[in-house]
Homo-oligomer: A and B are copies of this chain.
Amino acid sequence: MTAPMIVGDPSLPETVTIYEVGPRDGLQNEAAIVPLAAKVEFITRLIGAGLPIVEATSFVHPTWVPQLADAADLVALLPLSGATPLPVLVPNERGLDRALDAGCRHVAIFGSATESFAQKNLHASLDSQFAMFEPVVGRAREAGVDVRAYVSMCFGDPWEGPVPIDQVVSVGTRLLDLGASQLSIGDTIGVGTAAHVAELIGAFATAGVGVERLAMHFHDTYGQALANAYAALRLGITTFDASAGGLGGCPYAVSATGNLATEDLVWMLTGLGIQHGVDLDALVRTSVWMSGVLGKQPASAVVRALS
C-alpha cells in the first residue's frame, strides 16, 4: 500500500499548509556539508513535489553553521519570484542585510523562550532579544518583506527543564508585537506531549493570539512529534513545520531522529482527508535521493517503508 485509507473528521481543518524546513533546519543539523548543486536540486524537487513553502537556508555566520555557509550563492540560484515562497533565516541585522541584498522576499527570525538558550544561541538575554530583533523586523517590513518568528525551546530546555507556558506566551506575543506575521512554536528538544501542546495553544488564544497566527514546529527526539501534531490539528492549527525525510538530528540529545518527517505528516493528513497539496511519491523519491547525498538512512518511517 502506498496510501492510507481516507477516513475524514469534520472537526479537523480542511486544509493544512506544510512549511518545509529540510533545507535549512534539516541540513544545518546534519554532520555532512551538502554541495551547493545538491541544495539547489533538493529545493527544486521539494517545490516540484508540491510543498507550498520551503525555507531555503540561513544567513547565519559561517563560523556557527558551516553547513549553510553558501547561503548567498544558493539564494542566487533559486526562483525567489516563483509561486512558492522561499524564506531564509536571518539571525540579526547583518543577516537581514545579506538577505535583502540577495533579493529575498520572506525572512524568519529565531527567538528563544528561555534565558539559557537566549544566552547560548543568541548571545543575548531573554529580554534583550527583543531590542535585537526590533530593527530586523522593522527594516524587513519597511522593505515589504514578510517576517516569521520562531520561538525555540517552548516545551523544555536542556539547561532549565520544563518551560513555563506563560513565559512562552510572553515571548511569542512580544515577537508578534514587533511585526512578525506568524509564530512558529518550537519543541526544539522534542520533549512535549499532547496535552502540553493543547495547553500552550489555549494560552496563546487567551492572550489574543489565534491559531491562524501560529505554526507548530515539532522534533521527534522522543517520538512525540506526530501525536503532538494531531493534538494541535484538533485545536485548529493549520500550519506545521516538517522536514523531508526527517532530516535534522537534535543538537541537544544523542538521537537519530530530528524534525517531524514531512512524509509521516503527509501520510496522516492524507488519511484524515485533509488537503495538503504534496505528491508523496515525488517527495519520497526526493528524500531517498537526499539520504544518498548525506550517506545515511532516512529518519522518516514512511520513506523507509516505501523505498
Contacts and interface: CB of A to CB of B under 8 A. Distances in A.
Given A1-B161, A224-B264, A194 B305 contact: no
A305 B189 CA distance: 10
Contact of A4 (B4, B222, B270, B305): B222
Interface residues of A, number: 55
Interface in A246-260: 250, 253-257
Nearest to A253: B305
A277 interface: no
A272 B226 contact: no
Given A254-B307, A267-B193, A5 B162 contact: yes
A305 B229 CA distance: 20
8 contacts: A4-B155, A4-B156, A4-B193, A5-B192, A194-B230, A222-B267, A223-B302, A230-B231
Nearest to A194: B230
A300 B263 CA distance: 19
Contact of A271 (B158, B194, B229, B271): B194
Assembly stoichiometry (copies): 2
Given A4-B224, A9-B194, A223-B301, 12 more contacts: A1-B162, A4-B192, A5-B161, A5-B191, A7-B199, A9-B195, A190-B301, A194-B271, A195-B273, A223-B264, A250-B305, A255-B304
A294 interface: no
Nearest to A5: B162
